[in-house]
Every structure is written in structure tokens, then in C-alpha cells.
Chain A
């Protein structure tokens, strides 16, 4: 799961609601809605490796 800083509480509660309280959450700076597509792409490219590692780590458990 990926959430911006403003939505960490929601992300954590949502994960719990679906029975995955320990789900790793990748946190990115808020807000996302006012970033341009290019900025979002840049952000995604910068962090994609970390997020993939997070998912793989969760999957390996």
C-alpha cells in the first residue's frame, strides 16, 4: 500500500479492516493531487525500487 503522509492513519486502519494490520505501507509526501503527471512520474521512478522491496519483503513473510 502506498499513502501520502496525510493518509497514514487511514492506510493503517484500512489495512487492519482487511485483516492485514502489519501490511507494509510506503509513505510519500502529501499532497499528491496537486502534483503534475511529470512530478508524479519522477516520484514513482525515484521510489519504485524501495516499494518493490517492501512488497517482496511482505510477500516473503
Chain B
């Protein structure tokens, strides 16, 4: 174990001075570049009061370094991020979710792609924690959204050892690697919430994690559902996409106004996915020659022989396109392309 990895856990005695402590965090790469709240014994104890799980219980081993995420280690990072004790159950479920094999955190954390974990909260806990699912839900300003997302990223770095420039090989990365978290606007959605779609009860609360490569805002004033879908689908198609490389599972954050237009046209969420899946098929020749060769390697078993005229689906099946309804008033939706070789994972939040 290298010195830097060995030094990433345990007790350190320091002067009780926030600037000195933050300087130590900078020096040891224990933070994310922003000031942190020092995780003193007292603060970690208060954080641990937010869960009934045993402090030394192992929640997961976090890739790529496979550091052991005990409940206490999660609490330490929660303090660093500025979380409240009531956020602990969300964080524990999020750590379980990012560590599920199908999320492929090993690759999400080490790829040159900008991918990172987008954390989505569903169910009653979102309101209880005062999370933002409305105006600016993917932006700044909400304590729970900001600190929960930040804590998950600090866990990926401090417990998973995904240090930028070291094991985290992102060519540029993205702002979402500081924090990327919201809840679904279930009240404004015309459809069943994400967690109910995935078989959970509406009164349960869940965390869903997505290996997201970024966000692309889509403005569309159209009121006709089919034309709106055509424009959204066109916006989802881009030749340099990881999703087309290996058959991914991209996501849409539909603004409530867009969702209503689709719903009023009689479309279910499954209908929208099926239509988008058809409309996002991209001619294989739009990929670069080298990248088309990679697509052939990755998708021949799924699609058979891939010629220049082959229409590549964005995901192997329509259902693998994820849909979340979130945001406030406005004719905007957001496209969230993914790393491709990753699948979203939903876990129950045990309160």
C-alpha cells in the first residue's frame, strides 16, 4: 500500500484551526478542492446518530481502490461534505448502489470519460430532507442536494481512492464531479415516479445512481408531442457518444411542462422510451472510422454485422433509456448521456 493510501484513514491530531486543517486536507488530497468541515470525533459521532447501522458495519468495498466503506467512514466523508445526520441513510444506500457490479464503478471512476455518479432520490425522504426537485434542481442552492452529492464524490475519492490524475483518469472531467444530486419532482410528474416504475412502493424511498457524462440543456417550445420527441431525439444523437459505442443507457430529465405535453398526447413513459429509441437510431457512418471499428467490436454480438448504413440504437433496448421528471416551470429538458458501459442502480433507503 502506498503512503498516500495508508494515510487515507485513521485519526490525526491537528491544531484546532480551520485554515490549518484545510491546508492539511489540501496537502494530503483528502478533499475535492473546496473547503471542508473538519471531521472531529464529536462531529462524526453526531453524524453517526443519523443511522441505526453499526458503526463498524461494512457497507461496501469501493472501486477502484476497493477501500472499505464502513458506516463510520461514510460518516467522516459526510461531515467533510457538510451533510446533516439525517442524510446518512441516503448516503449508505448510495454507497450500496455505486458498488453494485452493474454500475461498473471500477470503469466509471477510472475512465478518461467525464463520467461520474449522478444521485437521484425518490420517495418521501426527499421532501423530508428538503431536497430540491424543482427550479434549478441540478444547480446550486439546496443544502441536501449539494452536500449529499458532494459526500458521494468524496467517498468515491477518499474510500475508493479515485484521486484525480491518479486512478481517476478523466481527460477533462466535469463540474458534476464535485456534486451531482437531485430528487424527482414526483408531484409535478404525470407518470409514476422512477422508484415505483422500478418495482418499489411509493411510500418507500430510494437512491438511484447513474454513470453520467454530463448534462445538455434542451430548449423546445413545441406543444405537439411527436414534434417535441423528434427534437429531443435529434438532440440525443451525437457521433462521439459513448452510448452509441457500446449500447448504453442514457437519461432524460424531462421538465414537467414537456412531460405534460407527452402525457396529454396519451403517451406513457414506456411509450416515450419506445418512440425515442426508434428516433435516436444513428447511421453508423456518422461515427469516425476508428470509433466505428470500436462499435463493431462492442456491438456485433448485439446487432450482427455493422455496415456504414446500419442504424445504431442508442441502447440495446428501449427500456434502458431512463426518464426522470424534474425541474420547475419552463420549456427545458436535460439530456444526460452516460459512460455507456454502466447501468443505473436503485437501492432502498433504510430509515
Contact A13-B293, Cβ < 8 Å, known A6-B169, A7-B169, A18-B66: no
Of A7, A17, A21, A33, which one neighbours B66 at CB under 8 angstroms? A17
Q: How far is the CA of A30 from the CA of B151 in the complex (A)?
A: 33
Would A17 and B290 be within 8 Å (CB), given that A6-B169, A9-B167, A37-B297 are in contact?
no
Return chain A residues, CB-CB under 8 Å to B286: none
**Contact indicator B1/A16 (Cβ below 8 Å):** yes
Whether A10 contacts B293 by the Cβ 8 Å rule is no
User: A residues bordering B, Cβ < 8 Å?
Assistant: 6-7, 9-10, 13-14, 16-19, 21, 33-34, 36-37
Contact present for B166 and A9 (CB under 8 Å) = yes
CA of A10 to CA of B168 in the docked complex: distance in angstroms? 8
Interface residues on B, range: 10 to 19
Q: Is B2 an interface residue (CB 8 A)?
A: yes
* Cβ contacts under 8 Å, A13 to chain B: 2, 5, 64-65, 161, 166-167
Give chain B nearest CB distance to A1 CB in angstroms.
Answer: 13
Cα separation A34 to B290 with both chains bound (whole Å): 6
Chain B residues within 8 Å of A9, by CB: 165-167, 169
Q: Please, how many angstroms separate the alpha-carbon atoms of A19 and B5 in the complex?
A: 12
Q: Which of A17, A33, A34 contacts B5 (CB 8 A)?
A: A17
Find out whether the CB atom of B1 lies under 8 angstroms from the CB atom of A21. yes
> Contacts of B64 on A, CB cut-off 8 Å?
10, 13-14, 17
Q: Are A16's CB and B2's CB within 8 A?
A: yes
Which residue of chain A lies nearest to B110 when distances are taken between CB atoms in the complex?
Answer: A10
For residue B294, CB closer than 8 A to chain A, the reply is yes
Taking CB atoms, residues of chain A closer than 8 Å to B169 are 6-7, 9-10
Query: Which one of A14, A21, A33, A34 lies within 8 Å of B167 (CB-CB)?
Result: A14
For B2, the chain A residues whose CB sits under 8 A away are 13, 16, 21
User: Could you tell me the distance between the alpha carbons of A16 and B2 in the complex, rounded to whole angstroms?
Assistant: 7
The smallest C-beta distance from A23 to any residue of chain B, in angstroms, reads 13
Judging by beta carbons under 8 Å apart, are B65 and A33 in contact? no
Residue of A nearest to B63 (CB): A17
B30 CB to closest chain A CB, in angstroms? Answer: 16
Rounded to whole Å, the gap between the CB of A11 and the closest CB of chain B is: 9
Interface positions, chain B 79-122, Cβ under 8 Å from A, are 110, 112
Question: Shortest distance in angstroms between B329's beta carbon and chain A's nearest beta carbon?
Answer: 43
Q: Name the residue on B nearest A31 (C-beta).
A: B112
Measured between beta carbons, the chain B residues less than 8 angstroms from A21 are 1-2
Give the shortest distance, in Å, between A24 (CB) and chain B (any CB).
Answer: 17
Cβ contacts under 8 Å, B290 to chain A: 33-34, 36
Q: What is the distance, in angstroms, from B165's C-beta to the closest C-beta of chain A?
A: 8
Query: In the assembled complex, how far is the CB of residue B35 from the closest CB belonging to chain A, in whole angstroms?
Result: 26
Distance (whole angstroms) from the CB of A16 to the closest CB of chain B: 5
Closest 7 CB pairs of A and B: A17-B65, A34-B290, A13-B167, A10-B167, A9-B166, A16-B2, A17-B66
Q: Mark B268-297, 1 if CB is under 8 A from A, else 0.
A: 000000000000000000000010011001
In whole angstroms, what is the CA distance A59 to B26 when docked? 39
Q: How far is the CB of B239 from chain A (nearest CB, A)?
A: 15
Q: How far is the CA of A34 from the CA of B5 in the complex (A)?
A: 33
Q: Compute how far the CA of A7 lies from the CA of B111 in the bound complex, rounded to whole angstroms.
A: 10
Q: A17 and B161 in contact (CB under 8 A), knowing A10-B64, A33-B294?
A: yes
Q: Which residue of A lies closest to B106 (CB)?
A: A14
Complex Cα gap A7–B165 (Å): 10
Question: What is the CB-to-nearest-CB distance from A52 to chain B, in angstroms, rounded to a whole number?
Answer: 25
Given contacts A6-B112, A6-B169, A9-B165, 10 further A-B contacts (CB under 8 A): A9-B166, A9-B169, A10-B169, A13-B2, A14-B65, A17-B5, A17-B66, A18-B66, A21-B2, A36-B290
